[in-house]
Structure 1
Amino acid sequence: MERLGYTPMPWQRYIWDVALEINPETGVFWHRTVGLSVPRQQGKTQLLLAVKVHRAQAYKRQRIIYAAQNRSMARERWEDEFWATIEVSRLARRFVIRKANGHEAIIARSTRSRIGITSNTETAGHGPPLDLGVMDELFAHIDDRLEQAFSPAMLTRPMAQLWWASAGGTEKSVPLNKKREQGRALIEELWRTGVHTRTAYFEWFAPEDMPRDDPATWRAALPALGHTVTEDVIRAELETLDPAEFDRAYLNRTRKAAPPPDPNIPRSTWPGVVDKASKPVPGSVALALDVSQDRQRAAIAAASLLPDGRVHLEVVAHRPGTDWVVPAMARLHRLWQPVAVAVASAGAPAGSLIDDLIAAGIDVPKDKAKPQRGDLAVMRSGDITEACGQLADAMRQGTLVHLDQVPLTAAVTGARTRRNGDAWTLDRTKSLVDISPLCAATFARWALVIRGPHVIEDYDIADSFA
């Protein structure tokens, strides 16, 4: 890379150190597949060029193929970036270029290895065996056709490697999103077992709960920051780009289509009731739980009456599965001594946990007219409809506050409703995301408002509707 005229950055050295490891028992590369997901303008192109040039010079008669969004883009980058870099570098005498359409090749004089291009089609990479395949800008690929064409051509080449690289894409970037999901799963498995697979995966990105305007977020997601990119430049991009595009380009997040608004949920008011410094008040906390329709995730939320009459909403936990919910709620019940614990009745997904909650010591009221602190509040259909309307009113009137937690804000944004008589209720089936955090928060607020007057001294129910 230095001979090509660039100074390698630490993150690039790290990738080469791992991706090009040699298995001492066999003398060939340990990793057959290398995946790289990194934000834009971080030096990905130079990193990939160095890999291709290294392969072309180090081994004889290598067939190296590069692919981008399409053949036209691959040709443009191959000629205007790859060859333009080699041509003015210290390696210029070691290579010659052949530009004939359909037979493009940058040829290493001493090894006769060739760096060519291909189109993004089912027949790409067909022909002679392939030693190094590079799939760039994977966010623009619509399916796995290129990988399916490359892989068989590498079958008889012991030193073969398939590299893919891309910045974040959109929900339509199916191959990229699948690769990122698989890569993260591989890393999790590596941490659990210590077993290294034949795939090396690298990713720099900022999770959704990291604020886009915080330089600490940029430092976590941008490996070239402080080398070829400055904070001032990123700050300028933040000021001019659409937030979703900034997230995709520089935080490597998947850009998602903005969902159409549900008329019953005043989500435009949600940012106006954020108070990240808000905290629940001991003694005036209600808890609630909810389970997603597919039972893949569950949530526990808290509502608390603040001194100024507003209601604090907070997601306490939002995790996969349901086995953790009752033990967690039992522990919170002991710690917080809540006003009540709310759960939807047997017709809802969380209804199946009612018996377990009772067995854990969270009892139903012995006298419905005189509930005790900590009793279970089993919500019927009418209660849930009432709770939904109350939450929407509180959002419009500014009588609630929240911490802008990602699970809850995402649920507010993606929630959908359905009619229930002349009113409406939250609809788990039609919602675009898991809304269990929103349901739990809605139920917790309802429990606070309904049960609070019975168990909290000096509780003024009018404060919750001020």
Structure 2
Amino acid sequence: MTTPESRTEELREQLSRLYGLECVPRWGTPRNEDRKTYGGKVAKYAAALGTPFMPWQRYVADVALEVDPDTGLLVYRHVLLMVPRQSGKTTLQQALMAWRACAWPRQGIVYTAQTRNLAREKWEEEHVEALKAAPAVWKRVKAVVTANGREHIKFHNRSRWGISANTKKSGHGPVLDMAMIDEAFAQVDNRLEAAFGPAMITRPQPQLWIVSTAGDEDSEFLNFKRQLAHDIIESDLRLASRFCAFDWTPPDVYDRTDRRVWRAVMPALGHTQTEEAVQAELESMAPADFDRAFLNVTSVEQPEPDKNVPSQEWPGLVDLESKRGRYVALAVDITPDRQYACIAVYSVREDGLEHVEVVDHQAGVNWLPERLKQLRDRHNPIAIAIDAKGPGGALLLELEEDAERLKRENRPSGLSRPKNPDKPAWGDLAVPTAADVAAACGAFTDACRPPKDAPDDEAQADDGHDDGAALVVDGEFEVVSEVVLGTIRHLDQLPLNLALANAVSRPLGDAYAWGRMKSSGDISPLVAVTLARWAYRARVHLVVQAYDPLANIW
């Protein structure tokens, strides 16, 4: 089975070998080396126009212009290209349109941008001027018509290169062989595609290019095409699809200040861009604006802070020296789309404070069973928590089926729930109920918030309830008190920090739980540390008292 990691590594090896390209798109159609391509011819036009291709541009041109060996026609009818701003989209488009106009007679080519005025401005000031500056190409031009509403470049072979407006009547007219929808983030709907499609239907090898940097939540046309491209590339459909795509964007978890992230998503870096220039933009731009422009990340409107999520308190709980205590509990959580999974650990430190930590946060889910067994054998945890009512339900079923199989084969035991809930063993699975999940989320929030001021002696009444020391020590055996406030400590790990920033709660009865579907990003690290904390507190008194020989030594 092809995984996101293996797919990316295969593409990385190919692009490095063919183009010396180390900046690999997160989603990219690979080059089919059994097919011929017109990419080399377009590269010659780019050089003639004074903008020699960068490696990423040559890769895109080679793949997009592959030729079907059976028909001799272009393989791909639709092309999606998404790269950060100022990466070289315009120079690639110019070379493509110039080549197409000259390659065959009577080619209809149209260019669109956010508005008709912007399309005309770019066509007149960049496209036409680039052709004029390239004598080898300009000699093929018969005339440039600038009359309002009739703007086009006419070639001696009767090809036409014009512009179109973003209206319901756009594209209705002469047949088209190449349509270039530039800055597609600004398209409010699919009206251009709906108009261009019929104009291309009778042509032997038409291409519709959708070119853009990421937009925002209102960029419905682009966002739909982007998700469609991802689905195709991640499935076996990519082998037969007539839709190719190239999307440079970081993983869901990233650090915008990390230059390694820049080098992974900015294919023009080191060619037409410098890290110093990007750093200057980072320092002057709002984070969301920088992410959209330079990391090609869709801008999402941030909701009002959720009062149930301790995001404001979280930075103050950093302790880079924090270490696990004697006993630990583990938990696992998976994102709803099963693209990422997280394993976290919870422990009570020697000083009574609580330690939470992300152990693993990786793409996919197939790595989880073996990794959980490794951690169980290495750390002998009090429990391993999995929420059966969430995306982890399938994992729980797989683990318990595997445990039954190993038992029948008289092999080392797998992972399963305890036979007797009142007598769990070390490393048994802990599966919370809905009420447990709600209690765990509320208790985690409380544990992140500072202690309330104690009432004075006169106001204080002994009601028999303990609002809780952080730690009760019973001989050698640690027990966390029922209510612990302000005692969580973490290592400032980026996946966990981002999970807190992305998290939104959802109602669960009269309480709340972390909302995987409602949150703006991957919150599996937050869910995992919350469940690990619950598992520790639910099982520590049952497991340690029953099995620790030191528990009764005074």
Place the TM-score, normalised by the shorter chain, in its bin: 0.7 to 0.9
Q: Does 1:10 align with 2:55?
A: yes
Q: Does 1:432 align with 2:529?
A: no
Q: Structure 2 matches for 1:125-204, cutoff 5 A?
A: 125-189=171-235, 195-204=239-248
One-letter amino acid of the structure 2 residue matched with residue 445 of structure 1: R
Partner of 2:308: 264
- Gap change, CA 1:313 and 1:30, over 3 Å in 2: same
| Partner Cα distance (2:415, 2:278) in 1 | 53
Deviation at 1:212, TM superposition (A): 1.4
Q: Structure 2 matches for 1:76-91, cutoff 5 A?
A: 76-90=121-135, 91=137
Structure 1 segments unaligned to the other structure (5+ residues): 461-466
| Partner Cα distance (1:55, 1:250) in 2 | 30
Partner of 1:464: none
- Greater shift, 300-309 or 58-67, is seen at 300-309
Number of residue-to-residue matches in the alignment: 451
Select which of 194, 211, 216 maps to 2:260.
Answer: 216
- Gap change, CA 1:208 and 1:97, over 3 Å in 2: same
One-letter amino acid of the structure 2 residue matched with residue 195 of structure 1: L
Partner of 2:9: none
Specify the SS of the correspondent of 1:34.
strand
Select which of 78, 90, 100 maps to 1:45.
Answer: 90
Partner of 1:302: 345
Specify the SS of the correspondent of 1:2.
helix
Deviation at 1:27, TM superposition (A): 2.7
Q: Does 1:21 align with 2:66?
A: yes
- Gap change, CA 1:79 and 1:382, over 3 Å in 2: same
| Partner Cα distance (1:98, 1:362) in 2 | 75
Select which of 304, 311, 318 maps to 2:355.
Answer: 311
Select which of 387, 393, 406 maps to 2:446.
Answer: 393
Partner of 2:383: 340
Select which of 278, 282, 287 maps to 2:330.
Answer: 287
Select which of 534, 538, 552 maps to 1:446.
Answer: 534
CA distances 1:393-442 after superposition (whole Å, capped 9, x unpaired): 33233622155353773365332143765xx3315488335655433321
- Gap change, CA 1:131 and 1:406, over 3 Å in 2: same
Structure 2 segments unaligned to the other structure (5+ residues): 1-45, 405-413, 450-485
Question: Could you tell me the TM-score, scaled by structure 1's length?
Answer: 0.83
- Gap change, CA 1:435 and 1:194, over 3 Å in 2: closer
One-letter amino acid of the structure 1 residue matched with residue 488 of structure 2: T
- Gap change, CA 1:30 and 1:378, over 3 Å in 2: closer
| Partner Cα distance (1:247, 1:386) in 2 | 36
| Partner Cα distance (2:338, 2:231) in 1 | 21
Q: Does 1:115 align with 2:161?
A: yes
Specify the SS of the correspondent of 1:81.
helix
Select which of 472, 486, 499 maps to 1:410.
Answer: 499
Question: Could you tell me the TM-score, scaled by structure 2's length?
Answer: 0.71
- Gap change, CA 1:241 and 1:375, over 3 Å in 2: same
Deviation at 1:248, TM superposition (A): 0.8
Select which of 56, 61, 75 maps to 2:101.
Answer: 56
Specify the SS of the correspondent of 2:239.
coil
Partner of 1:98: 145
- Gap change, CA 1:150 and 1:380, over 3 Å in 2: closer
Partner of 1:65: 110
Partner of 2:78: 33
* Pairwise CA RMSD: 3.6
CA distances 1:336-387 after superposition (whole Å, capped 9, x unpaired): 321123356x88786895897596553437473x754334545456544442
Q: Is the 8 A contact 1:264 1:417 kept in 2?
A: no
One-letter amino acid of the structure 1 residue matched with residue 507 of structure 2: R
- Gap change, CA 1:278 and 1:195, over 3 Å in 2: farther
Deviation at 1:455, TM superposition (A): 1.8
- Greater shift, 443-452 or 403-412, is seen at 403-412
Partner of 2:28: none
Q: Is the 8 A contact 2:83 2:248 kept in 1?
A: yes
One-letter amino acid of the structure 1 residue matched with residue 355 of structure 2: V
CA distances 1:154-188 after superposition (whole Å, capped 9, x unpaired): 11111321111101111221221222222233333
- Greater shift, 351-360 or 384-393, is seen at 351-360
Q: Is the 8 A contact 1:311 1:400 kept in 2?
A: yes
Deviation at 1:206, TM superposition (A): 1.8
- Gap change, CA 1:365 and 1:285, over 3 Å in 2: farther
Specify the SS of the correspondent of 2:531.
helix
Q: Percent identity?
A: 41
Specify the SS of the correspondent of 2:62.
helix
Deviation at 1:307, TM superposition (A): 4.7
Q: Is the 8 A contact 2:152 2:163 kept in 1?
A: yes
